[in-house]
Amino acid sequence: MGKHTAGPWKVKEIKTSCGRVFKIDREGEDRAHDCIACIYDDNTTLNERNHNEHEANAAFIVTACNSHDELLEACKQLLDKYEIALMKLTGNTGFNVSTLREYARQAIAHAEASQ
């Protein structure tokens, strides 16, 4: 797997002949025929989603991608501070709250694996 397109990302609504498309691309780039992703909102009877849901989904993708690095760093810092505080409180890191620690480690590993 290659590396993802660097952020920040943006979403732009473009009218089409049968509805609209939400193009996701890098901030500052405005290519006509190339983008990171597109969400089409066609005005057809086959479209089962609410039209506003397409726009919300595109915005959610952009927000999640633009927040990724900050959230990953926050999880790492939280885990580091947690381990230091645990050591000060208990005198060791064997205090049985490993489930919380493991969830944080798994989330960090998952986020780093997708980079």
Residue 72: exposure state from Cβ atoms within 10 A (0-12, 13-18, ≥19)? middle
- 4-25 residue pLDDT tens: 888 899 999 999 888 899 999 9
Nearest 5°: the CA angle 29, 2, 63 is 50
Residue 6 CB partners (closer than 8 Å, separation 6+): 26
8 A C-beta contact, residue 7 and residue 27: yes
Identity of the residue numbered 55: E
- The confidence score (pLDDT) of residue 22 equals 93
For 42, the 3-state DSSP assignment is strand
pLDDT of residue 25: 93
Per-residue pLDDT of the chain (115 residues), as tens digits, is 788 888 899 999 999 888 899 999 998 877 766 789 999 888 766 666 677 888 899 999 999 999 888 888 888 888 878 777 777 777 765 555 666 777 778 888 877 776 5
Sorted by where each begins, the domain ranges of the chain are 9-113
